[in-house]
Amino acid sequence: MEFASMSKRQRSDVSSPTFASGAKIRRVTTASAIYEQLHAAILSLQMKPGVALQEKRIAEEFGVSRTPVREALLRLAEAGLVEIFPQSGTFVSPIPVSAIPEAVVIRKSLERTTVEHAAEIATAGDIARLDAIIARQRVHAALNEPSQFHEEDEAFHEAISAIAGYPGIWSILKSVKLQIDRARRLTLPVRGRMDSVIEEHMTIRDAIAAHDVDHARGAMMRHLSAVIPDIDELRLLYPGYFS
């Protein structure tokens, strides 16, 4: 792994504070920048499960001291992406096979709640926003851009949470999706799968637009069942990546 070393002055030319949910006024700090980089690297499997992370080495690569690196690693540990063994070392977490079924259960439970409520109260504008996301997904599928496609996939589910008025649920879902997505990233993105995802999204969208709670729930449940990665197969392909 190589990282572009960052200037210490980076935080001077930062944009105005973000007033996101919860009134976080936190600006871009060195620690959080490193967190983002490592987070992306682990999620994209550029850093493979099991490899050692050394505070000192990372600090040198980024051109900063160990303190912000340590802060970033602590946050990654809380997210479950790295494991810190005191006085021993820090390693990229293996993908926790055992946790994935539960993660799927949690997703189903929470997304069921959001999609039901969204179907009840969605406005025309909300539907338009979903349509826009699906349209972008079609483009990415046609151009075979799995990464951007996945981003829009996240946007779709986030939009539903937003429609339901449950932004907090989305932040929980994000953390739950982490490990699932890491496993899924191992499977080659299949062209056909993207198309069926779009179809499933369309079904969900239609049910929400029709305020049909039952169909919305059913469509979402089928959708979520379809995206469960085949762990056993992956375990064979990538031994040592799982716990």
Partner DNA sequence: CTGAGCGGATTGATATACTAGTATCCAAAA
Partner DNA sequence: TTTTGGATACTAGTATATCAATCCGCTCAG
Site for DNA in 28-47 (CB under 7 A): 29-31
Minimum CB separation of residue 5 from a copy of itself in Å reads 22
- Give the CA distances from residue 58 to residues 7, 31, 46, 121, 133, in Å, rounded to whole numbers and listed in that order: 15, 12, 15, 48, 37
* Alpha carbons 30 and 168: distance in angstroms, whole number: 26
Q: If residue 55 lies in a helix (H) or strand (E), which one and from where to where?
A: helix 55-62
Rounded distance between C-alpha atoms, residue 73 and residue 89, angstroms: 11
Contact residue for DNA among 2, 19, 22, 85 (CB under 7 A):
85
Output the smallest distance, CB 36 to a copy of itself, in A.
15
Taking CB under 7 A as the rule, does residue 24 contact DNA? no
Q: Is 25 in the site for a copy of itself (CB under 8 A)?
A: yes
Q: What does the block give as tokens for 210?
A: 């029709």
| Contact call for residue 169 and a copy of itself (CB under 8 A) | yes
Under the binding rule (CB under 8 A), the answer on residue 110 touching a copy of itself is yes
The region of 47-55, 79-87, 123-131, 195-203 touching a copy of itself under the rule CB under 8 A is 79-87
* Cα separation values, 127 from 24, 73, 208, 211, Å: 29, 39, 8, 11
Q: Are strands 52-53 and 82-85 parallel, antiparallel or unpaired?
A: unpaired
Of 54, 169, 193, 34, residue with least CA distance to 110: 169
Q: What are the tokens at 19?
A: 């007033």
Q: Residue 80 or 146: which CB sits closer to DNA? A: 80
239 forms part of the interface with DNA (CB under 7 A): no
Binding flag, residue 82, a copy of itself (CB under 8 A):
no
The binder of DNA chosen from 41, 43, 66, 151 (CB under 7 A): 66
Q: Which of 41, 43, 55, 148 binds DNA (CB under 7 A)?
A: 55
241 CB-side CA count, 13 A? 22
88 binds DNA (CB under 7 A): yes
Q: Say whether residue 64 binds DNA (CB under 7 A).
A: yes
12 contributes a contact to DNA by CB under 7 A: yes
Contact pick of 15, 19, 23, 87 for DNA (by CB under 7 A): 87
Phi, then psi, of 83 in degrees rounded to 5: -120, 130
Q: Given the rule CB under 8 A, which of 56-64, 66-74, 202-210, 233-241 is the region that contacts a copy of itself?
A: 66-74
- For 131-166, give the secondary structure using H, E and C: HHHHHHHHHHHHCCCHHHHHHHHHHHHHHHHHHHCC
Residue numbers of the site for DNA (CB under 7 A)?
Answer: 8, 11-12, 26-27, 29-31, 53-56, 64-68, 70-71, 84-90
